[in-house]
Amino acid sequence: MRRIYLLILLLVICVSGYAQNADINNFIVKESLLKNSKLAIIAADSLDIPIEKINGTYTFSVSGFTQSIKFNGGVGVLPLQLERSAFVYIKHQNDTGTHSKLLYVHKKDGTLTPYVINSMWLVLFPALIIFLAFAFRKFIIAAVIILLIFIYFNHSNGLNLSTFFETIFDGLKRLF
Residue 164 has pLDDT above 60, yes or no: yes
CB-based burial label for 132 (10 Å; 0-12, 13-18, 19+): middle
What was the pLDDT predicted at 14?
Answer: 61
Q: For the chain, what is the radius of gyration of the CA atoms?
A: 22
pLDDT of residue 171: 80
pLDDT in tens, 37-64: 888 999 888 888 888 888 888 888 888 7
**Predicted model pTM:** 0.75
- Please count the residues of the chain: 176
pLDDT of residue 146: 92
The average confidence (pLDDT) of the chain is 83
Going by C-alpha positions, the residue among 99, 76, 42 that lies closest to residue 68 is 76
77-93 mean pLDDT: 87
User: Does residue 176 have a pLDDT over 80?
Assistant: no
Provide mean pLDDT across the span 68-95. 87
